[in-house]
Chains A and B, each alone.
Chain A
Amino acid sequence: QQPVQSPQAVILREGEDAVINCSSSKALYSVHWYRQKHGEAPVFLMILLKGGEQKGHDKISASFNEKKQQSSLYLTASQLSYSGTYFCGTELSNSGYALNFGKGTSLLVTP
């Protein structure tokens, strides 16, 4: 069950903020966020476990709403280096089964 990401694409000017959403139709155990630059492998950003905790990494933070089965990634005061495709990966339990990834959100930060 592939999670649904929105928006599909977003263009920002440097310094602007963005929110990327990831929704699942099933109860989630965890949500993982990755960023992928063109031609490169996905790079891990953060994990959120059920319980609604919010995590932060520099000016990037995320939340996990267990009731809505939705996670949001917040990018504040965006930098040029934030450009790339953001993927959420979800898992329904801690079973070792692979993460199920959304189709990605393409983010372009312009000067």
Chain B
Amino acid sequence: NAGVTQTPKFRILKIGQSMTLQCAQDMNHNYMYWYRQDPGMGLKLIYYSVGAGITDKGEVPNGYNVSRSTTEDFPLRLELAAPSQTSVYFCASRSGNLAKNIQYFGAGTRLSVL
């Protein structure tokens, strides 16, 4: 029962570097999401996807990009990392089925931009 898997768990980037945060789910969920969580704050939605090939912006999309080529994978790309992107990133997924509408979270990626 892997659920939602995120890699890497930790990463330190220098300003201006780029990286991809990986997210994969094995529950055949249509809906996938990326959130960021800053200390003492709630979860802010970055991007989401309602199915393969379909993505849309959330509340705080600037500085990020996503793609969804398969149902299982939803990578988040950071271009030109900035200190403001230091945060914990959570990927999540849901089935969309009314009877099983739980949103499951991955373990998170802790990113520091220095």
* Chain A residues within 8 Å of B, Cβ to Cβ: 2, 30, 32, 40-44, 47, 87, 89, 94, 96-104
Contacts and interface: CB of A to CB of B under 8 A. Distances in A.
A67 to B, nearest CB: 22
Interface centre among B31, B33, B94, B101 (most CB of A within 10 A): B101
A87 B90 CA distance: 14
A98 B107 contact: no
B30 A98 contact: no
Contacts, number: 53
The 8 closest A-B pairs by CB, nearest first: A41-B105, A101-B42, A101-B43, A103-B42, A98-B33, A96-B50, A98-B45, A96-B31
B90 A42 contact: yes
Interface residues of B, number: 25
Contacts of B103: 32, 44, 89, 98-99
Contacts of B42: 2, 87, 101-104
Interface string B41-75: 11101001010000000100000000000000000
A103 B41 contact: yes
B45 to A, nearest CB: 5
Contacts of B98: 94
Interface of B: 30-31, 33, 35, 40-43, 45, 48, 50, 58, 90, 92, 94, 96, 98, 101-108
